[in-house]
Amino acid sequence: MNAQETKTLDKRHNIHSWTVNDTLDPLVVERAEGVYFWDAAGKQYLDFSSQLVNMNIGHQHPKVIEAIKAQVDKLCYISPSMATSARSKAAQAIANITPGDLNQIFFTLGGSDANENALKLARLYTGKQKILAKWRSYHGASMGAISVSADPRRPPVEPGVPGAVHFMDPFCYRCPFGLEYPSCNLHCAEHVKQTVEMESADTIAAIILESQTGGPGFYAPPPGYMERIREICDENNILLICDEVMVGFGRTGEWFAIQHTDAVPDMITMAKGLTCGYVPLGAVAISDKIMETLRSKYLFVGLTFNAHPVSCAAAVATIGVYEDEDLIANSKHLGEVLLSRITALMDKHSVIGDVRGSGLFACLDLVADRDTKTPLAADKMQALKTTLLAQGLSTNLIGNRLFIGPPLIITEEQLQHGLDIIDAALTTI
């Protein structure tokens, strides 16, 4: 089938997400390898976003493909009430890399349902209902996950699931309180304490937040924030759930972004980098302490494809690749190179209001005016995206933020080449 036939059939029968289908003109992609993919015309693109911050080990890694094939030959599917070696090994591999005593793993199909199940388990454990989450947050598109999210993606599908309460973000560049770190004395964390008091602690099951915020801001909280949130949770019998769907698996230079802090959550939710999209898988890692109580209760959670053997086999192989190729260290090292280069770009391009980065996860906050921090207009962002793509660089632009999140296997030369393309494209706006 040629590219035009693919597009014609696609338009006739496929529904694409997060877009106006009438106006979409999708790229027809033929193949991919490592940090590159190629369209049907043979044009090469450097993948600077790892396809929705997902393919941390790069495209078509032979070890993961081999593991999937071997599992398919042996056992494609079995009911989640059974045990399989793939599932046991995958759970052990996750327990080995998560902090603290997060040794109990509930498998899902992706990030949204990982969060849904974490929230249900928090309600079952605490016997309380409300969930606190940040205003700048995205925890998934399913009804429960989008209900706790506070993002332009929520209002169009409301009313959602009741019980979500939102609090202001620990976002220093655009501090909602107009304060500056460190003289602010972490006012943003005290605001969470006040929110807990006003909502009444005995109605709140959990606080869910990304350890570092991805799509809705691309920023890390200020030092001490996560530790203070941990204390607030402990003082009020509230569970702390860290959503690491986007920032987990080495993206920020640690296995999990929470490991940049001294806080240990009660649950970590993950997906994306767990199997890097080769096959779908998500998971909730739960502490031994929480599970000690939950073990004796009937668990009202379940999915037909829970702990899918093929996905679990892929997860074991994927975690093996991170370890064998030292990808967490590569993310940390090249993250420093990346941050220093984009910081230098600020001297050249006044359109860059702020740069933020942690490991191979960075963003340029683009503004019309540095003093007012007015976000760059949508048409300019779209023009920038078109220019980048024409130059063979594929990345995400979300709101006024240009995102950089290449596969963790990227070399310094490939990284610098991508940054050269961004540098030149910024000159055009």
Whether 263 and 244 have beta carbons less than 8 Å apart is answered as no
d(CA 233, CA 59): 40
Amino acid identity of residue 293, one-letter, is T
Least distance in Å: CB of 105 to ligand PLP?
17
User: For 76, how many CA atoms within 13 A lie in the half-sphere containing its CB?
Assistant: 1
State yes or no: residue 58 binds ligand PLP (CB under 6 A).
Answer: no
Listed residue (243, 284, 260) closest to 124, CA to CA: 284
Which residue sits closest to ligand PLP, CB atoms considered? 111
Whether 164 and 154 have beta carbons less than 8 Å apart is answered as no
State yes or no: residue 271 binds ligand PLP (CB under 6 A).
Answer: yes
Least distance in Å: CB of 212 to ligand PLP?
10
Listed residue (292, 202, 215) closest to 247, CA to CA: 215
Residues in region 368-427 near ligand PLP by CB under 6 A = none
- Neighbouring C-beta atoms of residue 207, cutoff 10 Å: 28
State yes or no: residue 253 binds ligand PLP (CB under 6 A).
Answer: no
Among 245, 263, 321, 421, binds ligand PLP (CB under 6 A): 245
Helical spans, DSSP H, in 110-235: 111-126, 143-148, 187-199, 225-235
- Please enumerate in sequence order all residues whose Cβ is within 8 A of that of 210, keeping only pairs 6 or more positions apart, or say none: 134, 137, 242, 243, 244, 245, 246, 247, 257
State yes or no: residue 283 binds ligand PLP (CB under 6 A).
Answer: no
Listed residue (428, 425, 366) closest to 399, CA to CA: 366
Residues in region 99-138 near ligand PLP by CB under 6 A = 110-112, 115, 138
d(CA 401, CA 403): 6
DSSP SS3 for 402: strand
- Count of residues near ligand PLP by CB under 6 A: 14
Least distance in Å: CB of 420 to ligand PLP?
28
Least distance in Å: CB of 25 to ligand PLP?
23
- Is 251 or 332 the residue whose CB approaches ligand PLP more closely? 251
- Is 248 or 353 the residue whose CB approaches ligand PLP more closely? 248
d(CA 8, CA 362): 36
Among 116, 169, 243, 365, binds ligand PLP (CB under 6 A): 243
Task: Dump the DSSP string for 28-51.
Answer: -EEEEEBTEEEETT--EEEESSHH
Whether 344 and 421 have beta carbons less than 8 Å apart is answered as no
- Is 71 or 115 the residue whose CB approaches ligand PLP more closely? 115
Among 139, 260, 308, 332, binds ligand PLP (CB under 6 A): 139
Binding mask 170-209 for ligand PLP (x = CB under 6 A): ----------------------------------------
- Is 123 or 139 the residue whose CB approaches ligand PLP more closely? 139
- Is 210 or 266 the residue whose CB approaches ligand PLP more closely? 210
Among 94, 246, 283, 310, binds ligand PLP (CB under 6 A): 246
- Is 136 or 228 the residue whose CB approaches ligand PLP more closely? 136
Least distance in Å: CB of 166 to ligand PLP?
15
State yes or no: residue 210 binds ligand PLP (CB under 6 A).
Answer: yes
Amino acid identity of residue 360, one-letter, is L
**Footprint of ligand PLP on this chain (CB under 6 A)?**
110-112, 115, 138-140, 210, 214-215, 243, 245-246, 271
